[in-house]
Copies of this chain bind each other. A is one copy, B any other.
Amino acid sequence: MKKLINKPDDVVKEELEGIALAYPDLVKIHYEPNFVYRADAPIKGKVGLISGGGSGHEPMHGGFVGMGMLDAACPGEVFTSPTPDQMAEAAKMVDGGAGILYIVKNYTGDVMNFEMAADMLRAEGIAVQNILIDDDVAVKDSLYTAGRRGVGTTVLAEKICGAAAEKGYDLQKLSDLCRKVNINGRSMGMALTSCIVPAAGKPTFDLGENEMEIGIGIHGEPGQERMALKPVDEITEMLALNIIEDEAYTRTVREWDFGKEEWADVELVDPPFQKGDQVLAFVNSMGGTPDIELPIIYRKLYEICEKKGLTIVRNLIGAYITSLEMQGCSITLLKMDDELIELWDAPVKTIGLRWKA
């Protein structure tokens, strides 16, 4: 295993220590339980926006804490869900009195732990809602997931909801917005190589010298198909068509019912993309793919969107939701409207994303 680390067990702790030293003006770190939070938190009257998940996907989520994005992020060990304790303590630290929104990627451990954290907060009188991100069209169920996995749309939801929280959206309106981003965003990824979890010390999966995995998950979970390596234009087309031609996707998720004061099943339907839609196109590196290759993917994606009648009105290209050193990429398309465009363009100042601030 070739990594720039000391002991595998110390990776997350030492990463957080480095972040604390590097960005004291942006974030503070709380240890045991571990979380990253805005240096200027709590912000009175603002909904506290929190996400979290296993480490190894950097800059997500800790790199998205700051003005215009998250108030706090809870990193678990690599590819391991954070605990309810982390999530609840983070919420109490950034609570500005307007409630807490948890953005939860759809992995069984994350979903369960964020629900437990929400229950802990409610017992202390803090209003909290959990909104799920489940945008990966590659597979229905997966290794750690019932239903679709939460991937690239998470980054976009954190940016857009972060801007809205900054603007004064209340908890109800912010929850509705986050749900809207989720149902309008779709993603799919692929890998050329496996990642290596530090504690495991060996590749998560084996791929032959001329093989790739289409539909990979961000923890190296199996995708749709293992196949021979192809030119990137063909790879881009496979990912893009799976996304664009995906049909209405219906499933039931759990959200908190503030009227009945209980968890309730909510039916969600992702509307398919339609000719004439405006979209944000997000081309993401899985971590080990160099910058030179990403515009080549975007070039083909642009052509496909044009052919399908989708207009790319915004884009994001880079390594934002990664899988350690995995070589590969993912594509996310999010249907945009005026509200989403305005929020996307709003100032943001985090480690991983910053503009106009």
A2 touches B291 (CB 8 A): no
Q: Which of A15-23, A87-95, A101-109 contacts B (4 or more CB under 8 A)?
A: A15-23
Q: Which residue of chain B lies nearest to A316 when distances are taken between CB atoms in the complex? A: B22
A291 touches B319 (CB 8 A): yes
Interface residues as binary, A293-334 with B (CB distance below 8 Å gives 1, 0 otherwise): 111111100100000000000010101001011011100000
Q: How far is the CA of A241 from the CA of B85 in the complex (A)?
A: 41
Residues from chain B with a CB closer than 8 A to the CB of A7 are 231
B322 touches A22 (CB 8 A): no
Q: Is A55 positioned at the interface, with any CB of B under 8 Å from its CB?
A: yes
A296 touches B354 (CB 8 A): no
Contact of A6 among B4, B63, B233, B317 (CB under 8 A): B233
Q: Is A287 positioned at the interface, with any CB of B under 8 Å from its CB?
A: yes
Contact of A325 among B63, B232, B319, B327 (CB under 8 A): B327
Q: Is A176 positioned at the interface, with any CB of B under 8 Å from its CB?
A: no
Number of interface residues of A (CB under 8 A): 58
Mark out the residues of chain A between 261 and 289 whose CB falls within 8 Å of any chain B CB in the assembled complex.
Answer: 287-289
Q: Is A292 positioned at the interface, with any CB of B under 8 Å from its CB?
A: yes
Contact of A5 among B14, B232, B325, B356 (CB under 8 A): B232
Residues from chain B with a CB closer than 8 A to the CB of A113 are none
Q: Is A229 positioned at the interface, with any CB of B under 8 Å from its CB?
A: yes
Mark out the residues of chain A between 213 and 252 whose CB falls within 8 Å of any chain B CB in the assembled complex.
Answer: 229, 231-233, 235
Residues from chain B with a CB closer than 8 A to the CB of A6 are 231-233, 296
Q: Which residue of chain B lies nearest to A320 when distances are taken between CB atoms in the complex? A: B291
Residues from chain B with a CB closer than 8 A to the CB of A288 are 288, 290, 325, 327
Instruction: Given A192-B2, A231-B5, A357-B355, check contact A21 B299 (CB 8 Å).
Output: yes
Q: Is A162 positioned at the interface, with any CB of B under 8 Å from its CB?
A: no
B2 touches A327 (CB 8 A): yes
Contact of A354 among B11, B59, B297, B354 (CB under 8 A): B354
Q: Which residues of A contact B (CB under 8 A)?
A: 2-7, 11, 14-19, 21-22, 55-56, 58-59, 63, 78, 192-193, 209, 212, 229, 231-233, 235, 287-299, 302, 315, 317, 319, 322, 324-325, 327-329, 349, 354-357
Contacts A2-B229, A4-B235, A4-B297 known; 8 new A-B pairs at CB < 8 A:
A2-B212, A4-B293, A6-B232, A6-B233, A11-B292, A18-B294, A289-B325, A355-B355
